[in-house]
Chains A and B, each alone.
Chain A
Amino acid sequence: MILISSLVILFGCAPSYKQMQSAVADVQVLQKFKPAFSVALYNTTVDVVGNHLSGLLLIKKMPDSSTRMVFSNEMGFSFFDFGFKPGGDFKVYSIMKKLDKRSVIKTLQHDFELILMNNLDNSKAVVKTNAGFTYFIFPQSKGFNYYITNQSGTELIRMERASNKKTIVEAVMKNYINGIPDTIGISHKTFEFNIGLKRIER
């Protein structure tokens, strides 16, 4: 409930990209928000066009520096197993037949890439400001990833994936403990698709 409330508050103030003004800020401030997943287990809820499902998402940093994400239901049946490499490579290790669709995989890949913050090429970053927030903008193969901080760069307000004109996805990472966010929320703006993650202590 707290997660949903904070998503509503934060996502209630989507930016108007046209109103942003150029600014100067050190892109390195984002590094402290990059989640330092060694291994973390999250209680996960997914709401997609009227359907609700829940389960567990295990995120683990592997010896080859890739990050694996395995989503299974509470009884242990795996829905998917994805691998993300630091350079941007992505691999589907397994996925249940029902989800094995290009559009589903691409959507999940881009959503998780936004929160993993692996593909932040500082040389291509653009910095802008609007309404007291700093927008760090990273061009992607399609559209842009936005990381929005307060003016002093001490707080990550939210993240966005957007086209030239509109926001496609908004995400938050909150309550970092030893570099790992306790709460993660991903909310799509063009259709009903929300992912909520709450870390489980093991």
Chain B
Amino acid sequence: MRKIIILMLVLVSGFAVKAQYPGYTAVADLAKFKTAFAAATQKTNSIKADFVQDKNLSMLSEKITSKGNFWFKKDSRVRMEYTTPFKYLMILNKDKAYVKDGAKESKVSTKSNKMFQQINKIMIDCMQGATLDNTDFKTRVFENKTSALVELTPVTKGMKEMFKSINVIVDKKDFSVVSIQMQELSGDNTIMRFTNKELNAAIPDNLFDIN
């Protein structure tokens, strides 16, 4: 009887996973996946890409699409420049952040600003392959032939107040990030898709300067 119940639970949980992420199955050997992920991201010193961001407002049946350029360089430096339909620049350089919206420039220490600290950690971890070690989240990993889906469910209070979950899809070929999907508690979500990726492109250091 006990065996039947366990078998049923396994089957039900298997169906639940399939229903949750169609086309994906749970990664069987997580340790092996982690090693491959870490090894691949170890080789990536910089990333240059374009991005398209869609914020889907489910209740309003509206989508806000914005586009821009993205640069990442080890260690812990990110530059995101929104170009359409608005101009917005954000630079994350270790524990400092710089924001330019319109003519207004702001510098923030990510140590003192919790939201920037969290954005900083998520973005940098995604690029440096440390996502699976982020203790702010419970992690599950799924895969199909070409990509892996890392599901991050917040466990800390601060993150739980902001997100229901964050899904990061990486290309299994080089473990570079294909998309980041942030699911909000309200049911709205934001998907950032990266295209025209150039790994290990020459990126000048001064792109990340915060003076």
A residues bordering B, Cβ < 8 Å? 1, 39, 41, 43, 45, 52, 54, 56, 58, 60, 62, 68, 70, 72, 74-78, 81, 93-94, 96-97, 200-202
Asked whether, in the complex, the Cβ of B186 is within 8 Å of the Cβ of A54, the reply is no
Assembly CA distance A200 to B99 (angstroms): 19
What residues of B have a CB within 8 angstroms of the CB of A77 in the complex? 115, 162, 182, 184, 190
Nearest first, the 4 closest Cβ-Cβ pairs linking A and B are A76-B190, A54-B101, A94-B186, A76-B55
* Chain B contacts for A43, CB-based, 8 A: 86, 101-102
Give the interface residue-count category, chain B: 20 to 34
Among A60, A76, A201, which residue has its beta carbon within 8 angstroms of that of B60? A60
A93 to B85, CA, bound (A): 26
Report yes or no: B182 in contact with A58, Cβ–Cβ below 8 A: no
Chain B proximity of A199: nearest CB distance (Å)? 10
**Across the interface, which residues of B come within 8 angstroms of A74, CB to CB?**
66, 82, 86, 88, 90, 101
Bound-state CA distance A162–B53 (Å) is 41
Instruction: Report the minimum CB–CB distance from A149 to chain B (whole Å).
Output: 30
For residue B187, which residue of chain A has the nearest CB? A94
Partner pick for A70 among B57, B99, B161, CB 8 A cutoff: B57
**Would you call B62 and A58 a contact (CB within 8 A)?**
yes
For the complex, what is the distance from the CA of A81 to the CA of B188, rounded to whole Å? 11
**Chain B residues within CB distance 8 Å of chain A:** 53, 55, 57, 59-60, 62, 64-66, 82, 85-86, 88, 90, 99, 101-104, 106, 115, 119, 161-162, 182, 184-186, 188, 190, 192
Cα of A93 to Cα of B188 in the assembled complex, Å? 12
CB-based contact B85/A1 at 8 Å: no
- A43–B42 Cα distance when bound, in Å, is 39
The answer to whether A70 touches B60 (Cβ under 8 A) is: yes
Given known A39-B62, A77-B184, contact A200–B86 (CB-CB < 8 A): yes
A-B contact pairs, 26 of them (CB 8 A): A1-B103, A39-B62, A43-B101, A43-B102, A45-B104, A52-B106, A54-B104, A56-B86, A58-B62, A60-B62, A62-B60, A68-B59, A70-B57, A70-B60, A72-B55, A74-B82, A74-B90, A76-B190, A78-B184, A78-B188, A94-B186, A96-B162, A97-B161, A200-B85, A200-B86, A202-B64
Main secondary structure of the interface of A (DSSP, over half): strand
Nearest A residue to B88, CB-CB: A74
- A202 CA to B63 CA, complexed, in Å: 11
- Complex Cα distance, B76 from A194, in Å, reads 34
Could you tell me the distance between the alpha carbons of A70 and B61 in the complex, rounded to whole angstroms?
A: 12
- Whether B184 and A93, one on each chain, are in contact in the complex, defined by CB atoms closer than 8 angstroms, is no
Q: Which residues of A contact B103 (CB under 8 A)?
A: 1
Q: In this complex, what residue of A is CB-closest to B163?
A: A77
Contact B119–A75 (Cβ < 8 Å)? yes
Q: List, in ascending order, chain B residues with CB within 8 A of A75's CB.
A: 53, 90, 119, 190, 192
B60 with A58: CB separation less than 8 A? yes
Minimum CB–CB distance from A91 to chain B (whole Å) comes to: 11
CB distance from A187 to the nearest CB of B (A): 16
Residue of A nearest to B161 (CB): A97
CB distance from B62 to the nearest CB of A (A): 6
Provide the residues of chain B in CB contact with A54, threshold 8 Å: 88, 99, 101-102, 104
B86 lies within 8 A of A58 (CB) = no
Which residue of A has the minimal Cβ distance to B100? A54
A201 touches B85 (CB 8 A): yes
**B88 — which chain A residues lie within 8 A by C-beta?**
54, 74
How far does the alpha carbon of A76 sit from the alpha carbon of B60 in the complex, in Å?
15
